Amino acid sequence: MAIITSNMLNCCLLPLILLSLAAGNLVFATVFTLQNHCPYTVWPGTLSGNGAAILGEGGFALSPGSSVQLTAPPGWSGRFWGRTGCNFDDAGNGNCLTGDCGSLKCIGGGAPPVTLAEFTIGSSTTDKDFYDVSLVDGYNVGMGLKATGGDGDCQSAGCVSDLNANCPAELRVTDSGSGSVVACKSACAAFNAPEFCCTGDHATPQTCSPTYYSAMFKSACPTAYSYAYDDASSTCTCTGSDYLITFCPTGSS
């Protein structure tokens, strides 16, 4: 009759314990699905905060009609954005007309104007996630954001309208080659004034109010942040959800 020692038992149990822990982490992970409904390639950029894991190596190409899934650990925070008009060599060196971050794999944020999807994921299955789509840094491409499979309010957010088509002349960013409008600046970026940037004497929610320009953004995209203190109608919460981020959700340019 074989004798099972404590060392033998520990040897057998340890892999099972590690496997169980790994399975638990997978259960608690958050899956982001990024899909491209634009008629052109979009190069998503990703930026992680607080030393969190870098998703998608910081950036990649997403051709029309394609999608990719990225998995974030509990407690992850960061942002996603779409870059347009990019040209990279085989080493990933190059630049983009909008949302540029210096290379294919971003190590910093995208250059404004850029449409942002921002997240702070809960550290456990009972903690809320906080998320939004922001036009505070301007707009470059349409974006839809939808929570899937979670509990709570779990609102959808985004900017479905094509703001480039209706951007005021003073906020337009144009392609020097074609002359077409490729992005729409925020009023802060265009004028660098405290009342638009919520700085100086306008640095509090009480003293920084909506402006003509932020109201225009809000009218076009009611579920997106239009200026720095647009929290009430723009910050979304959900618990235990995955998220679908769609570029050009209406399929338009």
Which residue range forms the structural domain that includes residue 157?
29-247
Please calculate the CA angle 193-195-200 and round it to the nearest 5 degrees.
80
Tens-place pLDDT, residues 38-92: 999 999 999 999 788 899 999 999 999 999 999 999 999 999 999 999 999 999 9
Q: What is the pLDDT of residue 50?
A: 78
How does residue 21 score in pLDDT terms, banded at 50, 70 and 90? very low
Q: What percent of the chain is predicted at pLDDT more than 70?
A: 88
Whether 6 maps to a domain, the answer reads no
Q: Mean pLDDT score of the chain, rounded to an integer? A: 89
138 Rama class: left (phi>0) / alpha (psi -120 to 50) / beta: left
For the record, the structure tokens of 241 come out as 């959800």
End-to-end Cα distance, the chain: 74
Q: What is the pLDDT of residue 222?
A: 94
Whether 10 maps to a domain, the answer reads no
Whether 13 maps to a domain, the answer reads no
Helix (H, G, I), strand (E, B) or coil at 30: strand
Whether 52 maps to a domain, the answer reads yes
CA distance 21 to 233: 38
pTM over 0.85: yes
Whether 2 maps to a domain, the answer reads no
Tens-place pLDDT, residues 183-209: 999 999 999 999 999 999 999 999 999
CA distance 100 to 85: 9
For the record, the structure tokens of 85 come out as 């008009």
Q: 117: domain CATH number?
A: 2.60.110.10
Range with lowest mean pLDDT among 10-19, 29-38, 134-143, 211-220: 10-19
Q: Check residues 250 and 180 and name the one with the higher pLDDT.
A: 180
How does residue 25 score in pLDDT terms, banded at 50, 70 and 90? very low
Whether 55 maps to a domain, the answer reads yes
Q: How many domains does the chain have?
A: 1
Q: What is the pLDDT of residue 9?
A: 37
Whether 117 maps to a domain, the answer reads yes
Helix (H, G, I), strand (E, B) or coil at 194: helix
Whether 163 maps to a domain, the answer reads yes
